[in-house]
Homo-oligomer: A and B are copies of this chain.
């Protein structure tokens, strides 16, 4: 599978330079040096400058571990996502890392792989690492929240995004899934669809419930009767989209459009519709969810609900930072709801 080229180098121990070394060099005490370095108000400018100079000369690197232990805060934010290589999550991570990094915090990244067991382990590890806060999206199968309660017990602030827990008393960041779905389905109706299918996600997750509700509401408001056989719930992977569409397009009264709660399911739908001889968008229209970059590369490109994932990350970062840095005994976690944007592309337009 691979081959290796190796060579050796000498790994010799070298003493790390500490506050004491700077103090010695300058005939000061550790405390003075510490204060100078931390820009303490009651320190003469002269001493500060001398210390700064010596620190960089000696190539001093403060030991954050020691500072963290002493201060009782690690400047570490733990992040839990199901998998780091799903575009939506990696985009949130991107935004999150940017925003907390700006404030001098680092991100510890963990993956639950949608396993509750793993989620529990991670939370223990994060507590032991003494992270100052945790930002998380629930695993697909997480229905019991006791491990998240533990964070509360330890007084570690928590912010949930996208896959959130309702009324859990923690900060949350989500998009308005109801509105995203409502807009998408209304758009399909306005472009001539009469029978719209919905490929949705598991209903124990709030966001998928909200999307289904938005779908139903849009139908109702446009005088279309809700048909349970046009709704399929799954993990929403590419294959799930294919399977669902295979069945639905074989219905006697097949749908003429579909609103998918995931772009992967939407691509699957597009492929199957084509295989069954449908012309998309003329015979069959599609809207996906998440606005994954690839949706715009397809032919026809697929309409999708953008959930501004990088911004969701930024916002999650802001929330966790405000919780972490808040010194009040009374703290009010915010629940942020971002506005979704329907990106209209060829897959759903009447005249393309």
Say which residue of B59, B61, B68, B298 sits within 8 Å of A298 (CB atoms): B298
Q: Does the CB pair B336–A8 fall under 8 Å?
A: no
How many residues does chain A have at the interface if contact means C-beta atoms less than 8 Å apart? 80
Interface residues of A in 281-331 (CB under 8 A from B): 292-294, 297-299, 310, 315, 326, 328-331
A154 to B13, CA, bound (A): 9
Q: Does the CB pair A6–B127 fall under 8 Å?
A: no
Say which residue of B7, B11, B294, B330 sits within 8 Å of A293 (CB atoms): B294
A271 to B130, CA, bound (A): 50
A6 to B169, CA, bound (A): 9
Say which residue of B13, B79, B154 sits within 8 Å of A155 (CB atoms): B13
State which of A102-110, A218-226, A252-260 sits at the interface with chain B: A102-110
Q: Does the CB pair A7–B333 fall under 8 Å?
A: yes
Q: Does the CB pair A65–B61 fall under 8 Å?
A: no
Given contacts A94-B84, A332-B8, contact A155 B14 (CB under 8 A): yes
State which of A26-34, A85-93, A193-201 sits at the interface with chain B: A85-93
Residue of B nearest to A172 (CB): B5
Q: Does the CB pair B339–A10 fall under 8 Å?
A: no
Q: Does the CB pair A85–B74 fall under 8 Å?
A: no
Q: Does the CB pair B111–A94 fall under 8 Å?
A: yes
- Complex interface: chain B residues within 8 A of A267 (CB): 297
Interface centre among A63, A65, A83, A338 (most CB of B within 10 A): A65
- Complex interface: chain B residues within 8 A of A298 (CB): 297-299
Interface centre among A90, A271, A339 (most CB of B within 10 A): A90
Given contacts A85-B90, A274-B299, A334-B6, contact A127 B339 (CB under 8 A): no
Given contacts A93-B85, A106-B129, contact A299 B299 (CB under 8 A): yes
- A-B CB proximity, top 9 nearest: A294-B294, A90-B90, A85-B90, A6-B332, A85-B94, A109-B109, A8-B332, A5-B335, A85-B91
23 sampled A-B residue pairs with Cβ under 8 A: A1-B338, A1-B339, A3-B337, A5-B334, A8-B330, A8-B331, A9-B330, A9-B332, A10-B330, A11-B331, A64-B130, A65-B65, A65-B130, A79-B109, A84-B84, A84-B94, A87-B90, A97-B109, A97-B110, A106-B125, A106-B129, A107-B110, A298-B299
